[in-house]
Structure 1
Amino acid sequence: MRDLTLLLHQFASGEDQSRELVQRIDTLLSERFPGGEGFPNVEAYEDLEVAIACYRPGGGQFMYDEAQMVLICASALAAIEDSGLT
């Protein structure tokens, strides 16, 4: 879980908001929590999956931009921290 929280924090803090980082987050999610199983909060997981699929730096029609993705990463981080899994 630590590696996922590190990646989410990198994005949320603005350290790295690249598409490549988002793809790494997606890979970790699918490997560790297939279909959301075991993730501390189903809603946060689903929101993160949708945002990952729709993320593009700068946004665009029907796309998530950096600011929207920061909020979703922060929400996922909070869900993980609230669960005590960090």
Structure 2
Amino acid sequence: MAEPILEVRDLVKYYPLTQGIVFKRQVGAVKAVDGVSFGLEKGETLGVVGESGCGKSTLAKVLMNLERATAGEVRFKGEDITR
């Protein structure tokens, strides 16, 4: 079996919820993407569907390195692109 072109393992992206004006402290987090895993072989196509606000755009931004993942791993042609 060939190595996947794109491999995503346990991808997580949380946005912190803060409170305060001068001394901001984190009081929670918005879980935009939580535990997404998949692999794509050469010639395969993936469609991501879901309701508005479920994390589709955030997933795409993390895959394109426009947002940094909170946790997990994205490998493109075997190279870790999340770090």
TM above 0.5, one fold? no
Select the structure that is richer in helix.
Answer: 1
Q: Which has the larger radius of gyration?
A: 2
TM-score by length of 1: 0.23
Structure with greater proportional strand content = 2
TM-score relative to the length of structure 2 = 0.24
